Amino acid sequence: MPKTRRQSDDWWRGATIYQVYPRSFQDTTGDGIGDLKGVTRRLGHIASLGVDAIWLSPFFKSPMADMGYDVSDYCDVDPMFGTLADFDAMLAEAHRLGLKVIIDQVISHTSDQHPWFVESRSSRTNDKADWYVWADPKPDGTAPNNWLSIFGGPGWEWDGVRRQYYMHNFLTSQPDLNFHNPKVQDTLLETVRFWLDRGVDGFRLDTVNFYFHDRKLQNNPPHAPGVDEIGLDAPDVNPYGMQSHRHDKTQPENVVFLQRLRALLDRYEGRTTIGEVGDGARSLKTVAEYTSGGDKLHMCYTFDLLGPDFTAGHIRKCVESFQKVVTDGWVCWAFSNHDVDRHVSRFVHAPEERERVAKLAITLLSTLRGSICLYQGEELGLTEAALAFEDLRDPYGIRFWPAFKGRDGCRTPMPWQQAAAHAGFSTAKPWLPVPADHTRLAVDAQEKTAGSVLNHYRETLAFRKAHAVLRAGDMTFLPSNQDLLAFTREEAGEKLLFIFNLTREKAEFAPPKALKHGEPLAVPGFGSKIRDGTIHLDPLDMVCTRL
């Protein structure tokens, strides 16, 4: 049985988390790349939104082949971002402002420049020879099996010194660690302890279901229609989606390691974990397994709401499926992050809808049961940037261009000042360009505009905090014969009814008799439209009543 926990330890349940992509947030050194001092400088903006925590994408020492998701030292800051002292100062300021700090842990793989891998590849007999996944070739010299890399091509790379292949789920410069080796687990947990002792409040666990592989190195079977779903883990242009990934990830041994990780975190007060689960149609089952029992992860997120579908049917299906499968776990919902096109661009049907969709999306996200994660710039209603091929930095996009343009379009610098060079992000040319339409949406321009997307975010998150039922209250869907999303949130005597019209047509909703006499509740940006017991909604509209 899990131990009894203090209420303050559960701050993460229903929390709002703001993701910071440091290299694109704020540059203070004039090199065109954001840094930790820049994060510290802009923490006031984040706190003004009313969020509970920040999630910081990787800032560790790295050759940056995959923008920091290829770590060469888990216990140091890359000079590009600053120093450990800069991190400590950022952490202290965040805590002063009442913000928790969650950092990215990328432990399924390292950089090929990590000292561990340098030693591992030097021979078959060194102390770290089996710290990575090595395998002999087939008699004809080909790779040990048919596993593929998400970033294109085979999931194996030949090493001439060892005369063996090593496994890599991502770039060839990101070799996978061998979690079947207890020494690897022990050492990785020590790196987690390093940051816990420094005072971080939690960890976002990158590719958390990728830690273990099948010891027998069995071939993956082909994609099975009706069982697997192409496109959830990789774009359709990538042959990775043509396999059913039964053996290269999501192995049963992972659960035991997550229990070890949780046991470490439970020695500290108020710490949390968020797991990224990319597992196709199995994602919810994996989330249920990884978050049940109170002895593994605190919460997970999947890719379910990170696609192009912004309809009542899709959102209801995702939430109800989660509620059905994950009976005692917790979810973190998001519409955007650093790996997908910005959701305003995914959801709009026409450019003039941008502001309306941006406001409706955060209002909907804030009313779902679960924790929620926002991605920097979405509070401004930023769209996906259209970049030229020569501006791309993402190896994923470069590899699959032009069929897939990669992730740089959502990673462009944060626009702070409308009239400043590079929108106030840097005094030098930024590592990615700042689009002109982003500059027009800069923070200082929206600060002084009543009804702006930025101010709507602040008001909506204040509304979420003002109603405790929205953090953890029960969520029950109501039947509707239109493309409307209708549900109640209920806890401790408070019951709210929400109706969302995600269509481009006017709609009406007649609540069941028991719900007809609700009291209209003002929701930021959306007025009350209840007449004769019927709820009237404009296109891309919502209404809330207290029951």
Rounded mean pLDDT, 331-347 = 97
pLDDT value for 2: 40
Instruction: Name the amino acid, one letter, at 290.
Output: Y
**316 and 276 housed in the same domain:** yes
The active-site residue, picked from 52, 248, 276, 304, is: 276
Chain CA centroid to CA 374, Å: 8
**446 and 481 housed in the same domain:** no
CATH assignment at residue 416:
3.20.20.80
> Which of 438, 464, 490 finishes a domain?
464
Quick check: bond before 433 cis, omega within 30? no
Q: Is 197 a domain residue?
A: yes
- The total number of structural domains that make up the chain: 2
pLDDT value for 233: 62
Q: Is 162 a domain residue?
A: no
Cross-strand bridge partners of residue 444: none
Rounded mean pLDDT, 407-425 = 98
**76 and 187 housed in the same domain:** yes
Answer whether residue 413 shows pLDDT above 70.
yes
Task: Judge whether 206 counts as a catalytic residue.
Answer: yes
Instruction: Name the amino acid, one letter, at 534.
Output: T
Q: What pLDDT, in 10s, does the model give residues 473-514?
A: 999 999 987 789 999 999 998 999 999 999 999 999 988 876
Q: Is 347 a domain residue?
A: yes
The domain in which residue 511 lies consists of: 474-546
- Cα separations in angstroms, 218 against 144, 213, 248, 405: 9, 10, 9, 32
The active-site residue, picked from 112, 206, 233, 541, is: 206
Rounded mean pLDDT, 279-283 = 82
CA dihedral 53, 40, 196, 111 (to 10 degrees): 100
Q: Is 156 a domain residue?
A: no
pLDDT value for 3: 44
**375 and 491 housed in the same domain:** no
Residue 1: which pLDDT band, with cuts at 50, 70 and 90?
Answer: very low
Answer whether residue 64 shows pLDDT above 50.
yes
pLDDT value for 278: 87
> Which of 464, 497, 523 finishes a domain?
464
**252 and 381 housed in the same domain:** yes
**219 and 281 housed in the same domain:** yes
**242 and 346 housed in the same domain:** yes
140 three-class SS: coil
pLDDT value for 532: 77
Q: What pLDDT, in 10s, does the model give residues 112-130?
A: 999 999 999 999 999 999 9
**329 and 244 housed in the same domain:** yes
- Give the integer Cα–Cα distance in Å for 358 and 361: 5
Least confident span in 1-5, 205-209, 390-394: 1-5
- Give the integer Cα–Cα distance in Å for 534 and 515: 11
Contact 298, 230 (CB under 8 A): no
Q: Is 249 a domain residue?
A: yes
pLDDT value for 530: 79
Residue 520: which pLDDT band, with cuts at 50, 70 and 90?
Answer: confident
> Which of 464, 482, 509 finishes a domain?
464
Answer whether residue 376 shows pLDDT above 70.
yes
**406 and 533 housed in the same domain:** no
**385 and 480 housed in the same domain:** no
Q: Is 315 a domain residue?
A: yes
Residues 6+ apart with CB under 8 A from 459: 524, 525
Q: What pLDDT, in 10s, does the model give residues 304-325?
A: 899 999 999 999 999 999 999 9
Cα atoms found within 13 Å of the Cα of residue 192, Cβ hemisphere only: 29
Mean of per-residue pLDDT scores for the chain: 94
Task: Judge whether 483 counts as a catalytic residue.
Answer: no
**456 and 514 housed in the same domain:** no
**446 and 487 housed in the same domain:** no
Q: Is 308 a domain residue?
A: yes
Phi and psi for 545 in degrees, rounded to 5? -130, 150
CATH assignment at residue 535:
2.60.40.1180
Contact 512, 547 (CB under 8 A): no
Angle at 524 between CA 522 and CA 530, to 5 degrees: 40
141 three-class SS: coil
Q: Is 157 a domain residue?
A: no
- Give the integer Cα–Cα distance in Å for 399 and 46: 34
Residue 230: which pLDDT band, with cuts at 50, 70 and 90?
Answer: very low
Answer whether residue 529 shows pLDDT above 90.
no
Q: What pLDDT, in 10s, does the model give residues 7-55?
A: 578 999 999 999 999 999 999 999 999 999 999 999 999 999 999 999 9
104 three-class SS: strand
Is this structure's pTM higher than 0.85? yes
Least confident span in 14-28, 177-191, 218-232: 218-232
Answer whether residue 84 shows pLDDT above 90.
yes
Percent of the chain exceeding pLDDT 90 equals 86
Residue 517: which pLDDT band, with cuts at 50, 70 and 90?
Answer: low
Please give the sequence-ordered ranges of beta strands (E in DSSP) within 37-116, or none if there are none: 53-56, 60-61, 73-77, 100-105
Least confident span in 147-161, 254-268, 316-330, 344-358: 316-330
545 three-class SS: strand
Percent of the chain exceeding pLDDT 70 equals 96
pLDDT value for 390: 97
pLDDT value for 464: 97
Instruction: Name the amino acid, one letter, at 75.
Output: C
